[in-house]
Amino acid sequence: MVRNIVVIGGTSHPQLTQTICDNLGIPPASVLLSKFSVGETRVEIHESVREKDVYIIQSGGGKVNDHLIELLITISACKTASARKVTAVLPLFPYSRQSDIPYNKSGAPLVKSTLQSSSFTFDSIPPTPYPEKIESSSLVNGIDCLQNHLTNAQIDDRDSATSNGIRHPCVNGAKRRDTLDSTRSENSHFQANSLPATPGIPNSNGTPHEEAINARAASSLSIIQAFEPRPGYRQWVAQAGTLVADLLTCAGADHIITMDLHDPQYQGFFDIPVDNLHGRPLLRRYIQRHIPEYRNAIIVSPDAGGAKRATVVADSMGMDFALIHKERRPIKSSDRQNATMMLVGDVRDRIAILIDDLADTSNTITRAAKLLKKEGASQVYALITHGILSGDAIERINASVLDKVVVTNTVDQEENLKKCPKLEVLEVGHVFAEAIRRVHHGESISVLFQYD
């Protein structure tokens, strides 16, 4: 039993909090986490934290923004209640993919939008928005309006440049909308049913169901084609990772414990200690125990960004390695969905094991699996640290040629397990409990990463 320590669980993953507390031999602290009817988060700490070391467990995934605000308020509540030290334990760190935003060649950000004949929408809540499911109310929310105005403003500028410098008045947006519609009709590749086939990957390789899901998602994932950058101006997109790091520090966090940061350099955004634990030992143990004749299998990175992660696993286990190269900066929205994928390495008649840090929409792993099967792989496993699995990811995995998807429970998988027979979950609670115990006693935690 660890003394003088308080563990508080956020609402993101109560089961993981309980496992961590069971491993530490203490009960979770009594707290009230709720919401006022307006939607604001309410936090009450029901026991003394004075001069105690407090560990707050809150993961990303799910209602990520609500969880983040709840974490910030809880940190602040503990600090103002005289906690000696507050450590935020974020098994999946939210927003860590947003330290850099991918841009297309024209400078427009690669963001999700859904194109309808009359308007854009930027809904990103699960499920992955389908054009036919858009509600008219979604067209009037703040971000949609802002983006529409941005787009319309771009078109206005173009118009004014080609019409003797006279700016068209905005009468109920009618002029702008007309222009926008005509711009859209020129971009016929934006129509949901006219997507190009995946270069290098004939459509016939996937199941018809998978093709349908991917085509539907491709039609939803769009760059604003009407966007044309003003000369000398590149549209600014917030790099939210920096802000989130600052928010945690300002709220009063003294220390961060997380696992498999998408970009390990994100640790440099903080001026407090960040312990980035590794999920690799768990994945490695799974390979050794569950994959038959694993030494003949081949580790595959589904994109160049994850090559280092995957090679570390391959090298430490004396296994072969292959890489899928994914085109990173497509010009058209449909290209992001259908970007060219090329395999470097030989997977024929072997079990291919995809290793990645996270699966969100699961487009990456399902498309990689399709390519690997096409290249002759006998089975395809995906071993992922963070199973975010948002939107219709589970549906996509079920329809894919993937044989098995193994994730850790840094994100709650209870509901996903019920819906996905291919899914297996590895427990991480004991890893975080050991990290907390070591940090609390001032012991080194490097032993938790010294296996590579």
Ligand X SMILES: O=P(O)(O)OC[C@H]1O[C@H](OP(=O)(O)OP(=O)(O)O)[C@H](O)[C@@H]1O
State the minimum distance, in angstroms, from the CB of residue 52 to ligand X: 37
Residue 359 is a binding residue for ligand X (CB under 6 A): yes
The residue range among 35-43, 77-85, 264-272, 357-365 that interacts with ligand X, by the rule CB under 6 A, is: 357-365
Beta-carbon contacts of 108 under 8 Å, excluding residues fewer than 6 positions away, are: 223, 224, 227, 229, 235
x/- mask, ligand X, residues 279-318, rule CB under 6 A, reads -----------------------xx-xx------------
Could you tell me whether strands 114-115 and 120-121 are parallel, antiparallel, or unpaired per DSSP bridges? antiparallel
Which of 29, 282 has the CB closer to ligand X? Answer: 282
Q: Cα separation of 330 and 347, whole Å?
A: 27
Which of 154, 409 has the CB closer to ligand X? Answer: 409
Which of 226, 388 has the CB closer to ligand X? Answer: 388
Contacting residue, 123, 156, 356, 392, with ligand X by CB under 6 A: 356
x/- mask, ligand X, residues 136-165, rule CB under 6 A, reads ------------------------------
Give the nearest residue (CB) to ligand X.
305
Bridge partner list, 311: none
* 273 and 108 Cβ atoms separated by less than 8 Å: no
Interface positions, 85-104, toward ligand X (CB under 6 A): 97
Which of 154, 362 has the CB closer to ligand X? Answer: 362
Which of 60, 306 has the CB closer to ligand X? Answer: 306
Binding residues with ligand X: total (CB under 6 A): 15
Residue 45 is a binding residue for ligand X (CB under 6 A): no
Beta-carbon contacts of 236 under 8 Å, excluding residues fewer than 6 positions away, are: none
Q: Cα separation of 58 and 75, whole Å?
A: 11
Q: Cα separation of 125 and 108, whole Å?
A: 21
Interface positions, 385-404, toward ligand X (CB under 6 A): none
DSSP per-residue string spanning 394-424 = HHHHHHSS-SEEEEEBTS--HHHHHH-TTEE
Using DSSP's 3-state secondary structure scheme, residue 90 falls into: strand
State the minimum distance, in angstroms, from the CB of residue 356 to ligand X: 5
Q: How many residues in the chain?
A: 452
Contacting residue, 183, 337, 364, 410, with ligand X by CB under 6 A: 364
State the minimum distance, in angstroms, from the CB of residue 228 to ligand X: 25
Using DSSP's 3-state secondary structure scheme, residue 193 falls into: coil
Q: Is the peptide bond before 127 cis (omega within 30 degrees of 0)?
A: yes
State the minimum distance, in angstroms, from the CB of residue 306 to ligand X: 5
Main-chain dihedrals φ then ψ at residue 149, nearest 5 degrees: -65, -40
The residue range among 116-124, 143-151, 358-366, 410-418 that interacts with ligand X, by the rule CB under 6 A, is: 358-366
Which of 97, 278 has the CB closer to ligand X? Answer: 97
Using DSSP's 3-state secondary structure scheme, residue 183 falls into: helix
Contacting residue, 12, 152, 363, 409, with ligand X by CB under 6 A: 363
Beta strands in 119-238 (DSSP E): 120-121
Which of 210, 303 has the CB closer to ligand X? Answer: 303
Which of 21, 282 has the CB closer to ligand X? Answer: 282
Which of 155, 394 has the CB closer to ligand X? Answer: 394
Q: For tokens 């850099």, name the residue.
A: 100
Q: Cα separation of 396 and 214, whole Å?
A: 8
Q: Cα separation of 31 and 49, whole Å?
A: 11
Contacting residue, 181, 228, 327, 360, with ligand X by CB under 6 A: 360
Residue 259 is a binding residue for ligand X (CB under 6 A): no
State the minimum distance, in angstroms, from the CB of residue 329 to ligand X: 11
The residue range among 120-128, 234-242, 350-358, 436-444 that interacts with ligand X, by the rule CB under 6 A, is: 350-358
Beta-carbon contacts of 261 under 8 Å, excluding residues fewer than 6 positions away, are: 93, 96, 267, 276
Using DSSP's 3-state secondary structure scheme, residue 40 falls into: coil
Surface-to-core class of residue 353, CB atoms within 10 Å of its CB (0-12 exposed, 13-18 middle, 19+ buried): buried
Contacting residue, 275, 357, 392, 412, with ligand X by CB under 6 A: 357
Chain residues in the site for ligand X (CB under 6 A)? 97, 262, 302-303, 305-306, 356-364
